[in-house]
Amino acid sequence: MAAPKRELFKAAEVCDVVQVKPYVLRSWEAEFPQIGQAVVAGGPRVYRRVDVELVLKIKQLVFDEGLTLSGARRRLEEDGAGTAGPPVTMDDIFGHDVRERVTSVRNGLQSILQMLSSDGHIVAKNEDGGRKKEEGRRKRDDGRKKEARLDGM
């Protein structure tokens, strides 16, 4: 079975393509460290297309030709197929504009937070764009009513 035309795969997707159980893929990673590369330290494993093709080759060597993992490793080294490809970058995974998108989301959330609270008061915008404070009673987080501070302290 050939790998799909994508460049990056999750572990479950590799298992589906290669038709092996996740524990088999993990054991092969231990024997063949060039399989898969972590996105960031402690992040999920991401597999490149060349990794999926390597796993398919390992499966063929082990299951079809009856080689052990050591024998498969030697065969791959002889064939030159066991070399790692270029490292996976964040741009490969998320796209080149990920920083701008995250900044935009953060700014939007900060705007919402500013609209919702200011000095313990609920703040909203007037129709003309000006800010107004809604004073009076509002509920605390624990469900009890609290008198809003009218003196500004």
The topology (CATH level 3) of 8-93 is: Multidrug-efflux Transporter Regulator; Chain: A; Domain 2 (1.10.1660)
Q: According to DSSP H, which parts of the chain are helical?
A: 11-18, 22-31, 49-59, 69-79, 90-94, 98-116
Show me where the domains of the chain are located.
Answer: 8-93, 98-147
Specify whether the CB–CB gap between 54 and 81 falls below 8 A.
yes
128 vs 117 pLDDT, higher one: 117
Q: Return phi, psi of residue 134, to 5°.
A: -95, 115
> Which residues, listed in sequence order, are joined to residue 133 by a DSSP beta bridge?
123
- Each residue of 77-119: pLDDT tens digit? 888 755 555 555 656 666 667 778 888 999 999 989 888 876 6
- Each residue of 1-58: pLDDT tens digit? 566 677 788 888 999 999 999 999 989 988 888 887 666 567 777 888 888 889 999 9
Q: What is the pTM of this model?
A: 0.52
Average pLDDT over residues 62-72: 90
Q: Which two tokens stand for residue 123?
A: 């703040």
